[in-house]
């Protein structure tokens, strides 16, 4: 299977400052009041209370990076409330540097549109990601037929979309599929709890949750590669063992990996 591979997942919270701006909210209204008023309007109209993609503030981007040197886990985190642009830029710099196979679960439907909107807001540069083979660098031509933008190209593989044969009604949740395949699935929280956890100052808990979720996605990617012939049975078993060893080494400094390994059947 070709390396490098960059598997990613984001956690976001409502961009209340942006919501204030687009709604011309009163300056003396609290964040809770601004968000609550919008949510109440949505409820009154039988609409989802989930803020649109462009009003999702990126808090964490967790990545599993696999290349010839091994498996690494890294997170970009906005810990000070003012580093969202740096977080988004950090992710796109990885893409620029390595031109990896990008892998996600519903990344085409949520994660990447959010990163695009937030990157646009913060003036982020993402040259490689937006390359479409229209000229420039010597290796640009190949992007005409396999780029990160086209839904049916594989340079970004949205596993949820691919496995559902691009039929939204056939989509499956990551947590359920991970558990069905014998992997741990979600630990500690789910996406619906992230905002409350943020309000309670538990950014590191959110980061740890995002890392375990992106590891689920990587393991599902390995399983998919086995199914499609990218891994032989022996190579798949070797990769799974490498992941377990890597997480075991990380667990001394990051105990959430002990919990993850304990939940792995």
For 100, the 3-state DSSP assignment is: coil
Domain map (residue ranges) of the chain: 5-263
Positive/negative CA dihedral, 179, 213, 96, 65: negative
Residues 101/154, Cβ–Cβ less than 8 Å:
yes
Q: Does residue 4 have a cis peptide bond before it, meaning omega lies within 30 degrees of 0?
A: yes
- pLDDT at position 138 over 60: no
DSSP string, 101-160: EEEESSIIIIIHHHHHHHHHHHT---TTTT--SSSSSTTGGGGGTS-SS-TT-SSEEEHH
- Average pLDDT score over residue span 116-136: 92
Residues 70/242, Cβ–Cβ less than 8 Å:
yes
| Residue percentage of the chain with pLDDT more than 70 | 97
- pLDDT at position 192 over 90: no
pLDDT at 120: 98
pLDDT at 76: 98
pLDDT at 196: 94
- Average pLDDT score over residue span 148-177: 97
- pLDDT at position 142 over 90: no
Cα–Cα distance between 157 and 106 in angstroms, integer? 9
- pLDDT at position 137 over 70: no
Residues 167/193, Cβ–Cβ less than 8 Å:
no
pLDDT band at 1 (very low <50, low <70, confident <90, very high): low
pLDDT band at 80 (very low <50, low <70, confident <90, very high): very high
- 32-58 confidence digits (pLDDT tens): 999 999 999 999 999 999 999 999 999
For 10, the 3-state DSSP assignment is: strand
Residues 76/122, Cβ–Cβ less than 8 Å:
no
Does domain 5-263 correspond to CATH entry 3.30.420.10? Answer: yes
- Average pLDDT score over residue span 182-206: 93
Q: What angle is formed at CA 120 by the lines to CA 30 and CA 51, rounded to 5 degrees?
A: 40
Average pLDDT value for the chain: 95
Q: pTM for this structure? A: 0.95
């Amino acid at each position: 299977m070709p390396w490098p591979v960059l598997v990613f997942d984001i956690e976001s919270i409502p961009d209340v400052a942006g919501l204030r701006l687009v709604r011309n909210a009163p300056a003396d209204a609290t964040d809770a009041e601004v968000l609550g008023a919008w949510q109440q309007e949505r409820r009154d109209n039988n609409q989802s209370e989930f803020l649109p993609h462009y009003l999702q503030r990126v808090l964490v981007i967790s990545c599993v990076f696999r290349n010839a040197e091994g498996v690494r886990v890294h997170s970009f985190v906005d810990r000070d409330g003012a580093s969202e642009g740096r977080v988004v830029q950090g992710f796109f710099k990885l893409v620029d540097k390595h031109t990896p196979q990008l892998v996600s679960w519903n990344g085409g439907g949520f994660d990447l549109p959010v990163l695009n909107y937030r990157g646009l807001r913060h003036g982020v540069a993402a040259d490689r990601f937006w390359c479409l083979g229209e000229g420039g660098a010597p290796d640009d031509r190949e992007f005409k037929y396999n780029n990160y933008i086209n839904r049916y190209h594989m340079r970004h593989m949205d596993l949820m979309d691919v496995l559902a044969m691009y039929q939204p009604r056939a989509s499956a949740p990551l947590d359920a599929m991970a558990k069905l395949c014998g992997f741990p699935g979600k630990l500690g929280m789910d996406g619906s709890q992230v905002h409350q956890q943020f309000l309670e100052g538990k950014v590191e808990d959110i980061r740890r949750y995002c890392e375990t979720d992106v590891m689920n996605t990587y393991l599902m990617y390995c399983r998919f590669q086995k199914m499609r012939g990218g891994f032989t049975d022996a190579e798949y078993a070797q990769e799974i063992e490498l992941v377990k060893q890597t997480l075991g080494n990380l667990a001394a400094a990051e105990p959430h990996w002990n919990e993850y390994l304990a939940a792995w059947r």
